[in-house]
Amino acid sequence: MVEISKIVEQNTWWRFGMEFEHYDKILNEYRVAPVRFGRRNIDLETSNIYAIHGLRQVGKTTEIKKTIMRLMRDDGVNPDSICYFSCETLVSRRELRKVLEFLMDKLAEHERIYIFLDEINFVKDWVLEIKGIADSDRFDRVVILFTGSPFGIKVHTQELIGRNIEGNRYFLRPLSFRDFVLQVCRRPDYLTADRQLEKELKILPENLNSSKINLEEPLEKIVPVFSRMLKFNASLSFLFNIYMKTGGFPSVINDYLRNIQAEEQERVKPEFYERFIELVTKDALRQGKSDRTMQQVVSAIIKIFGSRSDFRGLAVEIEEPISHPTIIDYLRLMEDNFLVQVLYSYDFAKKRVRYKAMKKIYFTDSLIFHSFNSWLHGKDGYRYSEEFMLDEDKVSLLVEGIVCNHLARVKEVPVIKPADRFLWFYYDARKELDFVYQRENGEYLGIEVKYKPRVSFKDVAAINMPKLILSKKEFDTKGDIAIVPVYVFLCLLESSAKNL
């Protein structure tokens, strides 16, 4: 049974107030990091439940601790009314109930309380305890925020419908390229010794903050924004090359920056890749999966990564016999946990998604891709990423996956608007288009990734819709087609409000 002393230990602000940040391991690491990466804040109101779905190592705990600090500093909230508990140490629903009973007793002393439950998915049937609070006559004085792996809380969160969780579900994903650029440029001295490039990196955020594109608008309104950002071509290309290696994980990016300063050849320590794989496989085991089977499914996905395939094609790439239902089960698990994204094709004649037709599978972040490859090949993660970046064809597929993930974030809203409601690809017997983005007015925008030195307007399928060709460095326009460097396109894309 959980001891009360364990609860008190995790709430250092009860003793130290705002000074707790000096004694908190997570905030200490955040405070001394080269870049203190920020996310969108959530406005917390009583009688509401908030859920943050996020990958391991993406920064969920850091965001909770920052929120606790903000409540005390900016809103004047009494530290004693803020309650936190990491559920990773709990082994039963009964223990969770004891924690919540202790925390709810604080309502006798305070007008309202804030309850933060981190990684709640580690407790079986946790949702029943949250429902108990939400159905009590004291709920109007309580704020509950919980985090967890997307798979671990997705299904159970739906059981809280009708208890003020509607509209309060958020995604915490790896940083988008836009957020990466805006924040990493705060420390250009960590990035380069080239004074001209450093100066350009310093002024880049100011220009980028006032520039963004809306894919709902016609190309003639979007193209001038591309043109304005071309003057930062050198710095954006430089930053994108880093982003393709580190992905959007803040801790990995900061490790990269520290190692640049220390002139280390290995820019990212091996433990980051190892820790990620250990956590992913540990979570899979908790959900009754085999790490051996998962490794085989990952290996098969990497072989067909970015290519059209179906579940039979995936099975062909697996050496040991695994049934189709098992492959589908593991793929869904990886998709629900934000590790991969399945892209479906679209039927223009019938105006609907072809769920049973060929699909494409992408990894949702480049660090995930490099970590899995390190796991499969037994190589150091960063060294593998360096070797990988020398193969232009393979890099093009990685870029395609990055673009897919960014396009999916543009309009996604938990439950009511997942990416497969507005983002697909197209193919028939003669042609293919990497991405089809449907605008709110029902019109389409075609997007083709051609990450190679030379690109022409003939590199995109002749389909009747405005189209963007995302190149390695070229920019040009012709009629309803625009060629633009992929890093210029990505840095101007904002994620939906439900992506923190």
| Domain stops at, among 156, 172, 188 | 172
**Mean per-residue pLDDT over the chain, rounded:** 92
Does 200 share its domain with 72? no
d(CA 459, CA 209): 32
Does 197 share its domain with 166? no
Does 193 share its domain with 59? no
pLDDT one-digit tens code per residue, 452-497:
989 999 988 888 999 999 999 999 999 999 999 999 999 999 999 9
Does 192 share its domain with 101? no
pLDDT one-digit tens code per residue, 76-101:
999 999 999 999 888 889 999 999 99
Does 196 share its domain with 256? yes
Does 328 share its domain with 193? yes
Residue range of the domain that includes 144? 4-172
| Domain stops at, among 172, 197, 218 | 172
Q: For the whole model, what pTM was predicted?
A: 0.94
User: Higher pLDDT residue, 325 or 270?
Assistant: 270
Q: Are strands 467-471 and 340-347 parallel, antiparallel or unpaired?
A: unpaired
- Which whole number is the average pLDDT over 406-433? 92
Band of residue 152 on the pLDDT scale cut at 50, 70, 90: low
SS3 424: strand
Does 360 share its domain with 451? yes
Does 79 share its domain with 201? no
Is the per-residue pLDDT at 155 higher than 80? no
Band of residue 3 on the pLDDT scale cut at 50, 70, 90: confident
d(CA 128, CA 96): 10
Q: How far, in Å, are 108, 302, 335, 362, 393 from residue 305 at the CA level?
A: 56, 5, 14, 6, 12
Does 279 share its domain with 158? no
Does 86 share its domain with 130? yes
| Radius of gyration, alpha carbons of the chain | 23
Give the number of domains in the chain. 2
- List, as one string, the DSSP characters of 279-319: HHHHHHHHTT--HHHHHHHHHHHHHHTTS-B-HHHHHHT-S
88-101 burial by CB neighbour count: b if 16+ within 10 A, else e? eebeeeebbbbbbe
Does 10 share its domain with 79? yes
Is the per-residue pLDDT at 500 higher than 80? yes
Is the per-residue pLDDT at 212 higher than 90? yes
Contact between 438 and 422 (Cβ < 8 Å): yes
Is the Cα torsion angle 337, 342, 343, 346 positive or negative in sign?
Answer: negative
Does 166 share its domain with 238? no
CATH code at position 158? 3.40.50.300
pLDDT one-digit tens code per residue, 271-323:
999 999 998 888 888 888 888 888 999 998 998 888 898 877 777 777 777 78
| Domain stops at, among 140, 172, 204 | 172
The pLDDT, as a whole number, for residue 324 is: 81
